[in-house]
């Protein structure tokens, strides 16, 4: 008897963002290639930062201007970006 397991589903290199929707109050609902959906609250991360390049995204209008580029959530041409696996795990 042969048992085969496909580990590629949980391989961080294969997970990509396929859609993202701004909810409100710095929360984004993110859908990944494997069908997983996460709602992530970015406000704690943004609030804790002392760096002005990150703190500028505490402006909701600026924060909501993200795009999906090559399977990544991206703000202002890589001004702000998070590892996809961190988003997938819901830990930023």
Complete domains list, the chain, with CATH:
14-89 (3.30.2020.10)
> Closest by alpha carbon to 81, among 61, 91, 66?
66
- 65-91 pLDDT, tens digit each: 999 999 999 999 999 999 999 999 999
Q: Which residues pair with 72 in a beta bridge?
A: 69
DSSP-derived letter for residue 35 is S
Given the structure tokens 């391989």, which residue do they identify?
A: 11
> Average pLDDT, stretch 14-33?
96
Q: Is 78 exposed, middle or buried (CB count within 10 Å of its CB: 0-12, 13-18, 19+)?
A: exposed
Q: Is 24 exposed, middle or buried (CB count within 10 Å of its CB: 0-12, 13-18, 19+)?
A: exposed
Give me the pLDDT at residue 14, please: 87
């Amino acid at each position: 008897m042969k048992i085969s397991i496909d580990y590629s589903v949980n391989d961080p290199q294969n997970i990509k963002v396929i859609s993202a929707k701004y909810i409100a109050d710095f929360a984004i609902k993110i859908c990944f290639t494997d069908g997983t959906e996460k709602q992530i609250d970015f406000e704690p991360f943004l609030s804790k930062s002392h760096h002005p390049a990150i703190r500028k995204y505490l402006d909701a209008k600026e924060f909501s201007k993200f795009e999906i580029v090559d399977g990544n959530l991206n703000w202002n041409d890589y001004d702000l970006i998070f590892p996809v696996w961190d988003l997938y795990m819901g830990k930023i």
